Chain A
Amino acid sequence: MYLRGYVSSREFFEYNPPQKIQNLAIRDYCSSNKFNYLLSATEYSMKNSYLILDEFLKFRDGSDGLAFYSIFQLPLNFTLRQNIFDKILKKRKQLHFSLENLALKNKNDINLIHNLFFIKQSYQKCLSLTDIKQNLKL
């Protein structure tokens, strides 16, 4: 199976890893799972840009799927994310996420990925340890 790497050039949530690290993680994931790694496509740094992702979701390169550094590179917006999943499954392709060691191969995998996003987004609104201590006057 041939997977096209997909790396970011802007931060996502609290992550902003160097591209070298993103590529290393993807390469390691592909090697551990016996996938052929195709040189990564790099998303533009402009906020909310998914131009490169959209392009590679057309799979004109003949690859079998995309290997992300992390699931959190996917769009924050639920509908945009779901559209990507629908497109992938319709084309019988796959999405792989190196950092989380997860993959989207069929419908059953969608829920976990959305849930991880929901938790991450909700968690941003939760109190930090410092906030908790201040509020409880600990």
Chain B
Amino acid sequence: MLNSTVLSKNFLSDGYLKIRPKNQKYLFEIQKIITNKISKTKLSKKNQISFLNNFHKFQNPSNLNDTRLKIYNYINSKSIFSKMYYEIVKEYLDILVGNELVMQNKINLSIQLPNDKSSILPMHSDTWSGDSPFEIVVWIPLVNCFKTKSMFILNPKESKHFYINYKKNSKKHDSKSLFNLYKSKFKWIDIKFGEVLIFNQCLPHGNVENITSETRWSLNCRFKSLFSPYGTKKIGEFFKPINIKPASVIGFNYNDPLAE
């Protein structure tokens, strides 16, 4: 049984939770669906990770986005994929977000080859590009991620400082120097395959050039409460309902007897 008070407190104070879900079977299944799509041979569980880590040895960097899109379209054409994704974190989302939820129509895939400068996501918050501050991100690594092979996040305390000073700082800094200003405060997420990161996407986060010798593979997907405020990413086009509770169904079907 999860301790909802502790989880909520930690999520609010750290800005993220690193969890080891009970449902490891689905994590392996997700990893298998992806490796099977690109590997010419069937791989054992152990070799799946090794194949993904060493993917840069077979992949031409200039075609990386085509490969990524091929896998992205494939995983998102399978409804079972998003069902498993949700099931992996369901008990945590019940605590952190609620149990009447919407999730992204399409799960994002990120592949970051060693020394590939084209896959860098500079420091940002998703809310700056239209996401609702009521959303959270579920980030699933398909390989072990550490140092520059992972991502960074600014904790809520430092983020508050960042936001208070943003107006002033954005006038005298570009994104690179702003990054350097907060660089020492970033928390670099060290996370293994089998673990999942749930984070507050309002907090500045991002990644840098992967200077490790392994390829990073990760998935990310946003979840929010069905009726919490939406940003520019709306129901239907970006989000799909995944569980509608009976009280909402009653509300949907209620008609005012005097309405025209």
Contact = CB atoms under 8 A, between A and B. Distances in A.
Interface residues of A, number: 22
A128 B229 contact: yes
A128 B231 CA distance: 10
Contacts of B237: 70, 99-100
Interface of A is mostly: helix
For B102, B251, B252, which residue has the most chain A Cβ atoms within 10 angstroms? B252
Contacts of B228: 126
B236 A127 contact: no
B23 to A, nearest CB: 25
Chain B contact patch, size range: 20 to 34
A98 B145 CA distance: 36
Nearest to A130: B229
B133 A129 contact: yes
Given A99-B237, A115-B244, A116-B241, A122 B105 contact: no
A100 B236 contact: yes
A119 B133 contact: no
Given A101-B105, A116-B241, A129-B133, A123 B236 contact: no
B10 interface: no
A119 B230 CA distance: 12
B58 interface: no
A123 B252 contact: no
18 contacts: A14-B234, A70-B237, A99-B236, A100-B236, A102-B236, A115-B241, A115-B252, A118-B252, A119-B227, A119-B244, A120-B235, A120-B236, A122-B248, A122-B252, A123-B227, A123-B235, A126-B227, A129-B133
Given A71-B236, A97-B236, 17 more contacts: A70-B236, A70-B237, A99-B236, A100-B236, A112-B240, A115-B241, A115-B252, A116-B235, A118-B248, A119-B244, A120-B234, A122-B227, A123-B227, A123-B235, A126-B228, A129-B132, A129-B229
